[in-house]
Structure formats: C-alpha cells, structure tokens
Amino acid sequence: MENLSQDAKYTLQFINQTQRNIFLTGKAGTGKTTLLREIIKTTHKNVVVVAPTGIAALNAGGVTIHSMFQLPFAGFIPDHSTPQFSDFVKLETKQTLARHFKMSGLKKAVIRNMELLIIDEVSMLRADVLDAIDFMMQSVRKKKIAFGGVQVLFIGDLMQLPPVIRDEEWKILRQYYSGKFFFHSHVMQLNPPLYIELSKIFRQTDDVFISVLNNLRNNQITQEDLKTLNQYVQPNFDLKENKGYITLTTHNAKADTINAKALEELNGKLVQYRPEIIGDFPEKIFPVEENLQLKVGAQIMFVKNDLSLEKRFFNGKMGIIKSLSEEEILVHFPEENKNIMVDKYEWQNIRYSVNPNTKEIEEEVLGTFVHYPIKLAWAITVHKSQGLTFDKAALDVSQVFLPGQAYVALSRLRSLAGLVLLSPLQMNGISNDSDVMDYAANKANEEILAQSLQLETQKFLLDYLKSTFDWNDLAQEWRNHQFSYHEKGENSIKSKHFIWAKKQTEVIWNMLEPAKKFTIQLDKLFSAEAIDYAFVEERINAAYYYFFTPIDNLVDEILWKLEEIKRIKKGKAFFEELSVLEELQIKAVLRLMKAKLLVKTIASRETISRENLTSEDIKNYKIRKLETIQKQFKELNISLIEDDANIERYTKKIKTKKEPKKSTVQLTYELWLEKNTIKEIASMRKLSAQTIGGHIAKLIEDGTIAISAVLPDDKIEELAQAFKGYKEESLTPLKEKSGDQFTWDELKWFKASLNSD
C-alpha cells in the first residue's frame, strides 16, 4: 500500500468503501496491473476477474467474459426483438439469450454472490458485449439495476488496443450504438463510472520522452516531438551487430520470420522444450509457444516477473542463452555480466465457485500449464508487446500504424536512449480515436475524488446496513416455500412438515416490522450533518443482539430439517428446496455478522479491508453449526439404522475450508509437512512430480527444508563426493559424468543445500 500512488490509493478506497463503478486507466507503465493484484489481495468483497480474451484473462488471473456469463460469440442487440440471421452475421437479443443460453448452477451461484466484478483490458471490450453482460447479471440476480447491483471496476488504457467488430456486424450494430467502445454501451451511458487515471509513471523517468509520449497519447504531437523522435532513425541499423535490441513490428508473420531466421543462423544444436500440461488447459489460452526452440546464443526475453525476493528479471527483460540441456536453461545478461538459471513458471486455468459454508467466491484450479517463461526475442508484434518493458527496441514503422499502435510501441521503452527507428515516423496514421479523446475529458481530479469518496463511503455504509436488515426477499422465499406444500397434496413427503414451515415463516415475517423501523432510524442517523459513528455502532450492536437469535435459530431449524430429509428416500426435490432456503438464510446471518464488523471498523477509523471484515466466527459459522446439529441429531435418533454412507444421497461433496492465496512453493511446503510424498503432492496440486521437485529445491535453498529430510545419509555422502571441486554453474556436465547414479532432482536438491543460508 505504501508504494501506491495517491490515485491508486483512492481507487483501493473506492473499491472497499463504496459501491461506485470505476473506470481505472493510466498511461503505459503507471502500475495498473500492480494495483489489480493489490485489490484482489486485500478487498473484503467477493471478487471475480474477467477479460475479453483467453490470454488477457490468464494474465489477469481470471476467466474470459464469454465463459463467465455464458455468452455466444455473436453481436448483441440490446432489445427483445427477433434477430435476422445471415451466413455472415450472427446476432443475439435479450429474448434469444434468455431463451437459449442456459447457465449452470455453479455460475449462477457465483453471479448471485458476486460483489465486485473486475473487467481487465477493457479497451478491447465491445459496447454490445458489455450490455449483454449487464442483461445476464440482472437476469440471474433478479435485480433490474445496472449489473444487478454488483460494483464493476473497468481497467485498461483506451489509447491502446481497440475493440474488434467486423464491418458486417457494425452495419447492424451502428443502428443501436454511437461507437464501439465499452463507454458507448447503453448501461454505461445511463450509469457513467467514476473516471480515475493513474498519473505516476514508473516505467520512464526521462522528462523529454514522457512529454513526447503524453503528446502522442493526447493527439497533440508536434513537429518538435517528431523531430525529437526522428533523431533516432537508423535505417541501416545492424541488429546482428547490436545485441539486446528487439524489433517491434505490426504483423505476426514478420516477427515470426525474423525470429526463425535469426535462430536458424546460429550454430549449435537446436534444443526443444515442451510444457507439462496437467488437467484442463485449452490450447487456445497457451500463454507461451508450446514448442520452445532454443540454441546457445539465442536472444530471449522473459514474459513474467520474477516471483522470488531477488527480482532477477522482469516482464520484457532480455538475455542471451548461455547453455542448454534437457533439464537446464542458463541465461546471460551481458550488461550486468551475470547468469541465472531459468525456473519454470506455473499458469493456472481456473473457474470460480461459491464456498457453501462461507458463501465466499473461490478459485478452483482446473488445469496447469508449466513451462519456461521465456520466448525468442529478436522480434515481437506491437500487439503482443503490451504490458512489456524494454531497455532497447528497434521500431519497424514502415507501414501505417493503427490508432494507438505508435503509442503502445514507443511506451514499451524505458528511455529514448534505447530507441532505434528503422524508418522516420510519419504524422499520418498515428492519431487516436476522437471518441476516446472526448471520453478522456471526464477524468476526475484529486479534489473531486476526495469529495466523492467521503459521500460515497457514507452512502455505501448506509445502503449496506439497510440491505442487511432488509429481509423482505428472504421472507417472501419462506412464504413461497410454505405455499408450495399445498401444491403437493396431503400424502406427499412435504405435507408432514407443513406446520414446521408455517412456524418458521411466521418467525421471519414477525421480524420485518421491527427491522423496517430500525432502517428508518438508520436513515435519520445518516442524515445528520456530522455522522456520529460511535453512536451508529452502539445502535447496530443493539439491533444485532435483538435480531441475531431468531435469524440464527432459523438456520438451526433448516439444518435440522435437512438432516431429517436426507435420510428419507424420494426426498431429493424437497431437500433441494430446503437447500436454497438454507443458502439464503445463512447468507443473511453472515451479512449481519459482517455488518457489525464494518461499523466497528468505521467507528475505529480503521481501513476497510478483508482482514478487518472477517473473523473465525464468520469463517466457521456453518461448519460449527453442522457439527453440533449432526451430533445432537444422532444422539436423539440413535435408533435409526440407516447407514451413514447413504445419508449423503442428496448432498454434494463440498470443501470445508477456504485456502488463502499463497505462493505455489508455500502450498507445496504445507502438503509436505502433512507427510505427503512428492508424487502425492503433484497429484493433489495438478502439477507434475518434476515441478514439485523444483519447489523442494527452493525450500532447501531458503533453509525451510533440510536436505536430510529429502535424501538418505548415504546418498548425501555420495553427492558430496561428486560435488567436490565442482565449480560449474550448470549441472549438465555433472549429470553427464554421473549418468544414472543421481537423478536431476537429487543434483538440484544437493546444489540448493550448498546455497542454503
């Protein structure tokens, strides 16, 4: 938090303290991705991250828009008409989406429990797709307000990659939309987000370069700016003689040709590396080339930041291959005169689900893709360079750039000192979209942000508290459930439980009137010119203790009834009806518990964060309830002869504990402490044994695990003899010399022990 700019801190506060939709933008290098990770790590809200493409979603740690919201790959007309299909254009409307595209129960649960939706790389998001998202969220959440009441954070730089709409589609969609960008959508026109721009640039420090980039971005590039840039034109620049430069070009084919030719011209053996793919990881979202082909002397770049404390490389850092073997890639950084051994990186294909106990949204790993986070780097397209940082680059701008491409290409560089233009930069073709420029005028200044934050925080707190005590929808669900008994007939399984249902329905309905009176009291407290948060906390605590017992007892009643019904054959439908009520009832209780902590945090002038708005009681509420009720039920019904194995006939296997987000090595270590073997850990984590072996090496190197815990004494002694006098950075010569005496893992583990503190 300390390293964040003021704009970034405001964004974090708006996310945690308000319900306001936000568009977060910023020039290249202002830290949008860093802030995204900070929000995910610290927000108390149930968050889902989506992006327009598979690769963008993977990089953001989320899922694609189309998979999350069950959207077809077609244009969306924002009305209920019946679209006219043709061979060239596919269109959907609200009517066809509602009728044909059925969403799974898992996704519906995620959308119902979602509190914050983050859409990354929003420059690529089409207006019609955003309206389709809005329609699906309103439909699933049964709330006819923007995005069904979910807060949305849009992240992206509109000066970069634009949305893609085919001409045939646009001829029809232009009848409904004035433009293609997300802010042209109907939902955004009616509900404009707060526009926050990160202004502190971390990538560049050269004032002249920053000025040129700003002018280019704002369509204000001058002849003086062009003169500054064109000083770096070197049409005869020899890339072979000048190592460390990457060529930025506009077409994939050209970049691929440059890389392939440069690799072919190198002497030496071609070594190929393939990924370890475990579980479900579709080819279309592979983050790097499946077949990595390298030779000694090849120019490469890293495509991820170093996750270790040493921070030895960053996304876009260039290097030269020094040595290669089956199990090792050694990279040399000429300017620093240092070498590093490349570790493999793990990419995860995830899906979201809802923890049945805490109602928190969690990530489930469907598959992993483990590969070296490097690629050939004599050339790359401007499109694929987005997000990368280069010290040296040669720009091939002989062909006209699309709007934004010139800005993306130039802004990859840290400074003008590393720039080479292979041809002069022309004025034509580099201007940005006029709609984007007009929209950029909406950005909020610091004074507006400060005022808005105070007002929006008060509004958020009041709305949160009022909705916490608004049990009208819950009461209606109970009433609907009560009335459903009449539909089944007197001899149905349900009919015997009618009196029970009527009694519980009366309990919740009797709570509505005092709850309504309390929300009126809240309105008065928050209408004061200076809100007395200490008094608000006092009133909330009083209301909490008044309402908690009856609302908590309803959870006991449902869980007890579920224990009964799951022992009855042919009771599945009844069990599922009660399960829906149970989910809503527990959600209401957890919300009440969280509201109490929220007010306490505000009254204490502490930061609203995930840490302050959770507790052991909240995390373990349902688990403890279930344990108590199941124990009591068995004691009172000890004569039941039904086998325990059969009583789970209607229940799904559920996880009982949410794991916090931890490093991949830490997760391996925790499983290691539980006495699991490497093979067992690999199976549990959807990773290969080789990858887990790499984690063990890291744990040995940092002193967390002793080499003696992994290898027997006689093997350690043999390795000590083999390593005597061995000075090579690479283990390849030692492996070749020892043959099958030692495995690669054993060599890596012992080397790690030598480097251990």
Q: What is the pLDDT of residues 647-699, one digit of tens each?
A: 554 555 444 444 445 778 888 888 898 888 888 888 888 888 888 988 998 88
Tell me what pLDDT residue 490 has: 54
Tell me what pLDDT residue 658 has: 41
pLDDT digits (tens, 9 = 90+) for 167-191: 888 988 999 999 999 999 999 999 9
321 within a domain of the structure (yes/no): yes
Q: Any idea which of 81-95, 475-489, 524-538 has the lowest mean pLDDT?
A: 81-95
Q: Is the pLDDT of residue 494 over 70?
A: yes
Q: Are residues 318 and 364 both part of a single domain?
A: yes
Find the mean pLDDT for residues 561-575.
Answer: 84
Tell me what pLDDT residue 655 has: 43
1 within a domain of the structure (yes/no): no
445 within a domain of the structure (yes/no): no
Q: What is the CATH number for 198?
A: 3.40.50.300
Calculate the alpha carbon distances from 1 to 24, 34, 46, 523, 560 in Å: 17, 11, 20, 33, 45
Alpha helices by DSSP H, 200-251: 207-217, 223-230
Any idea which residue has 């370890």 for tokens?
276
- How far apart are the C-alpha atoms of 299 and 246, rounded to whole Å? 9
Any idea which residue has 């908690």 for tokens?
548
Residue type, 480: N
- How far apart are the C-alpha atoms of 480 and 511, rounded to whole Å? 17
- How far apart are the C-alpha atoms of 590 and 622, rounded to whole Å? 9
- How far apart are the C-alpha atoms of 257 and 259, rounded to whole Å? 5
Query: What single-letter DSSP state applies at residue 376?
Result: E
CB 698 within 8 A of CB 752: yes
Query: Which residue from 187, 189, 181, 152 is spatially nearest to 21, judged by alpha carbons?
Result: 152
Kind and range of the H or E run holding 755:
helix 744-755
Q: Grade residue 636 by pLDDT with cuts at 50, 70 and 90.
A: confident
Q: Grade residue 100 by pLDDT with cuts at 50, 70 and 90.
A: confident
25-29, 91-95, 195-199, 624-628: which is most confident = 624-628
Q: Any idea which of 179-193, 480-494, 546-560, 701-715 has the lowest mean pLDDT?
A: 480-494
Tell me what pLDDT residue 324 has: 93
Q: How many domains does the chain have?
A: 4
Tell me what pLDDT residue 449 has: 87
Q: Are residues 521 and 572 both part of a single domain?
A: yes
Residue 260 makes CB contacts below 8 A (sequence gap 6+) with none
**Count of H-run helices and E-run strands, the chain:** 27, 22
Number of neighbours of residue 235 by Cβ within 10 angstroms:
10
Global confidence as pTM:
0.79
CB 365 within 8 A of CB 350: yes
Tell me what pLDDT residue 428 has: 58
Q: Any idea which of 136-145, 554-563, 729-738 has the lowest mean pLDDT?
A: 729-738
Residue after which a domain boundary falls, among 143, 178, 202: 202
Grouping H, G, I as helix, E, B as strand and the rest as coil, residue 300 is: strand
Residue after which a domain boundary falls, among 637, 656, 689: 637
pLDDT digits (tens, 9 = 90+) for 338-384: 999 998 999 999 999 888 888 888 888 899 999 999 999 999 988 78
Q: Are residues 21 and 48 both part of a single domain?
A: yes
* Containing structural domain, residue 377: 207-432
Cα-to-chain-centroid distance, residue 532: 37
Q: Is the pLDDT of residue 644 over 60?
A: no
Q: Are residues 605 and 745 both part of a single domain?
A: no
Q: In what order do the strands lie in the sheet with 22-26?
A: 63-64, 47-51, 116-119, 151-155, 22-26, 194-198
Q: What is the CATH number for 696?
A: 1.10.10
Q: Are residues 320 and 173 both part of a single domain?
A: no
16 vs 573 pLDDT, higher one: 16
Find the mean pLDDT for residues 577-599.
Answer: 93
Q: Grade residue 266 by pLDDT with cuts at 50, 70 and 90.
A: very high
Find the mean pLDDT for residues 189-201.
Answer: 87
489 within a domain of the structure (yes/no): yes
Q: Are residues 50 and 187 both part of a single domain?
A: yes
| Residue 414 structure tokens | 């840290």
CB 339 within 8 A of CB 332: yes
Number of neighbours of residue 130 by Cβ within 10 angstroms:
27
- How far apart are the C-alpha atoms of 397 and 654, rounded to whole Å? 55
Residue 322 main-chain phi, psi, to 5 deg: -95, -40
Q: Are residues 158 and 24 both part of a single domain?
A: yes
Tell me what pLDDT residue 399 has: 57
Tell me what pLDDT residue 326 has: 86
Q: Is the pLDDT of residue 261 over 60?
A: yes
- How far apart are the C-alpha atoms of 566 and 336, rounded to whole Å? 67
Residue after which a domain boundary falls, among 432, 462, 482: 432
Q: Is the pLDDT of residue 488 over 80?
A: no
Residue type, 365: V
Q: Grade residue 569 by pLDDT with cuts at 50, 70 and 90.
A: confident
CB 454 within 8 A of CB 20: no
261 within a domain of the structure (yes/no): yes
Q: Is the pLDDT of residue 612 over 80?
A: yes
Q: Are residues 68 and 31 both part of a single domain?
A: yes
Q: Grade residue 538 by pLDDT with cuts at 50, 70 and 90.
A: very high
- How far apart are the C-alpha atoms of 422 and 430, rounded to whole Å? 17
Q: Are residues 51 and 81 both part of a single domain?
A: yes
Q: Is the pLDDT of residue 115 over 50?
A: yes
CB 11 within 8 A of CB 35: yes
- How far apart are the C-alpha atoms of 612 and 606, rounded to whole Å? 8
692 exposed, middle or buried (CB, 10 Å; 0-12, 13-18, 19+)? buried
Q: Grade residue 641 by pLDDT with cuts at 50, 70 and 90.
A: very low
Find the mean pLDDT for residues 109-125.
Answer: 93
Q: Are residues 627 and 682 both part of a single domain?
A: no
Find the mean pLDDT for residues 380-408.
Answer: 76
Q: Grade residue 48 by pLDDT with cuts at 50, 70 and 90.
A: very high
Decide the pairing of beta strands 329-333 and 318-324: antiparallel
365 within a domain of the structure (yes/no): yes
| Full DSSP string of 550-594 | HHHHHHHHHHHHHHHHTTSTT-HHHHHHHHHHHHHHHHHHHHHHH
Q: Are residues 504 and 616 both part of a single domain?
A: yes
722 within a domain of the structure (yes/no): yes
Tell me what pLDDT residue 657 has: 41
pLDDT digits (tens, 9 = 90+) for 333-343: 988 889 999 98
- How far apart are the C-alpha atoms of 32 and 42, rounded to whole Å? 15
Average pLDDT, the chain: 86
Residue type, 719: L
Residue 728 main-chain phi, psi, to 5 deg: -70, 145
Residue 478 makes CB contacts below 8 A (sequence gap 6+) with 501, 504, 505, 508, 509, 581
Q: Is the pLDDT of residue 605 over 80?
A: yes
91 within a domain of the structure (yes/no): yes
Find the mean pLDDT for residues 376-396.
Answer: 86
Cα-to-chain-centroid distance, residue 733: 42
CB 159 within 8 A of CB 432: yes
Q: Are residues 11 and 149 both part of a single domain?
A: yes
